[in-house]
Amino acid sequence: MLAGRVSVSRVVGRTNLVRPPEPLARHLVPKQDGRAAYIGHTEILRKPVFWKPEELINYHMVVLGSSGSGKTYFVRTLTLRSTLSFGANVLVFDITGEYAPFAEMVGGHVVQLGVRHFLNIMDLGGVPPAVRAAQVVEAMQPFFDTDRATRQARILRDAVDLAYAEKGITDDPDTWDREPPTLGDAYRILRNLWRDVITKEYENKEYENEKERELVLTFANSTSARESLVGLLDKLRAVTEPPHDYLAKQSTLTLKELTQSGYVVLDLSKLPSESARMSVTTSVLQYIVEDMRRGGVPAERRLRLIVVIDEAWKVISQKDSPVKTLDKEGRKYGIGVIAATQDLSDIKEDDYLLNNAGAVFTLMIQKDTDRESLSKTLGLSQYLQGRFANLLVGQCIAKLKYRQAVVPPFIVNVRAILPQKQVRLRIKLSDPMRKIKKLALQRYRAAKRY
Ligand X SMILES: Nc1ncnc2c1ncn2[C@@H]1O[C@H](COP(=O)(O)OP(=O)(O)O)[C@@H](O)[C@H]1O
416 touches ligand X by CB under 6 A: yes
Which is nearer to ligand X, 68 or 298 (by Cβ)? 68
Which is nearer to ligand X, 73 or 143 (by Cβ)? 73
Identify what 408 binds: ligand X, Mg ion, none; CB under 5 to 8 Å per kind: none
111: which residues sit within 8 A by CB, 6+ positions away?
117, 253, 258, 264, 265, 266, 267
Which is nearer to Mg ion, 71 or 132 (by Cβ)? 71
69 touches ligand X by CB under 6 A: yes
Q: Distance between CA atoms of 158 and 134, rounded to whole angstroms?
A: 10
Identify what 128 binds: ligand X, Mg ion, none; CB under 5 to 8 Å per kind: none
Cβ-based neighbour number of residue 368 at 10 Å: 9
71 touches ligand X by CB under 6 A: yes
Pick one of 112, 394, 401, 407: the residue that binds ligand X (CB under 6 A): 394
Which is nearer to Mg ion, 393 or 407 (by Cβ)? 393
70 touches ligand X by CB under 6 A: yes
Pick one of 10, 20, 67, 423: the residue that binds ligand X (CB under 6 A): 67
Which is nearer to Mg ion, 72 or 182 (by Cβ)? 72
Q: State in angstroms the smallest separation of the CB of 49 from ligand X.
A: 13
What is the per-residue DSSP string for 168-183?
A: T--SSGGGTTSPPP-H
Number of residues this chain uses to bind ligand X (CB under 6 A) = 12
Which is nearer to ligand X, 70 or 184 (by Cβ)? 70
278 touches ligand X by CB under 6 A: no
Amino acid at 269: S
Q: Specify the 3-state DSSP secondary structure of 100.
A: helix
Q: State in angstroms the smallest separation of the CB of 419 from Mg ion.
A: 14
Q: Specify the 3-state DSSP secondary structure of 243.
A: coil
Pick one of 25, 31, 46, 68: the residue that binds ligand X (CB under 6 A): 68
User: 73 to 112, contacts with ligand X by CB under 6 A?
Assistant: 73
370 touches ligand X by CB under 6 A: no
What is the per-residue DSSP string for 370-403?
A: HHHHHHHHHT--HHHHHHHTTPPTTEEEEEEBBS
Identify what 89 binds: Mg ion, ligand X, none; CB under 5 to 8 Å per kind: none
Q: State in angstroms the smallest separation of the CB of 26 from Mg ion.
A: 33
72 touches ligand X by CB under 6 A: yes
Q: Distance between CA atoms of 248 and 186, rounded to whole angstroms?
A: 9
Closest-CA residue to 30 (of 82, 77, 75, 76): 82
Q: Looking at 71-79, 178-186, 350-358, 403-411, which segment touches ligand X (CB under 6 A)?
A: 71-79
Residues at the interface with Mg ion (CB under 5 A): 71-72
Pick one of 393, 401, 402, 443: the residue that binds ligand X (CB under 6 A): 393
Residues 136/284, Cβ–Cβ less than 8 Å: no
Residues 121/285, Cβ–Cβ less than 8 Å: no
Q: Distance between CA atoms of 439 and 213, rounded to whole angstroms?
A: 77
Q: What is the dihedral of CA 107, 113, 117, 122, to 10 degrees?
A: 120
141: which residues sit within 8 A by CB, 6+ positions away?
149, 153, 278, 279, 282, 318
Identify what 68 binds: Mg ion, ligand X, none; CB under 5 to 8 Å per kind: ligand X
- In whole angstroms, how far apart are CA 380 and each of 43, 126, 175, 377? 16, 46, 57, 8
Torsion region of 107: left, alpha or beta (phi above 0 gives left; psi -120 to 50 gives alpha): left
Q: Distance between CA atoms of 192 and 209, rounded to whole angstroms?
A: 14
Pick one of 23, 30, 53, 65: the residue that binds ligand X (CB under 6 A): 65
228 touches ligand X by CB under 6 A: no
Which is nearer to ligand X, 166 or 343 (by Cβ)? 343
Q: State in angstroms the smallest separation of the CB of 69 from ligand X.
A: 4
Please return the burial class of 75, using the count of CB atoms within 10 Å of its CB with bins 0-12, 13-18 and 19+: buried
Angle between helices 183-198 and 149-166 (to 10 degrees): 110
Q: State in angstroms the smallest separation of the CB of 338 from Mg ion.
A: 13
Q: State in angstroms the smallest separation of the CB of 341 from Mg ion.
A: 9
Which is nearer to ligand X, 53 or 65 (by Cβ)? 65
Beta bridge partners of 306: 90, 336
Q: State in angstroms the smallest separation of the CB of 340 from Mg ion.
A: 7
Residues 308/91, Cβ–Cβ less than 8 Å: yes
Q: State in angstroms the smallest separation of the CB of 71 from Mg ion.
A: 5
Amino acid at 110: V
Cβ-based neighbour number of residue 299 at 10 Å: 6
Q: Distance between CA atoms of 316 and 312, rounded to whole angstroms?
A: 7
Q: State in angstroms the smallest separation of the CB of 316 from ligand X.
A: 16
362 touches ligand X by CB under 6 A: no
Identify what 414 binds: Mg ion, ligand X, none; CB under 5 to 8 Å per kind: ligand X
Q: State in angstroms the smallest separation of the CB of 41 from Mg ion.
A: 23
Which residues contribute to the site for ligand X (CB under 6 A)? Answer: 65, 67-73, 393-394, 414, 416
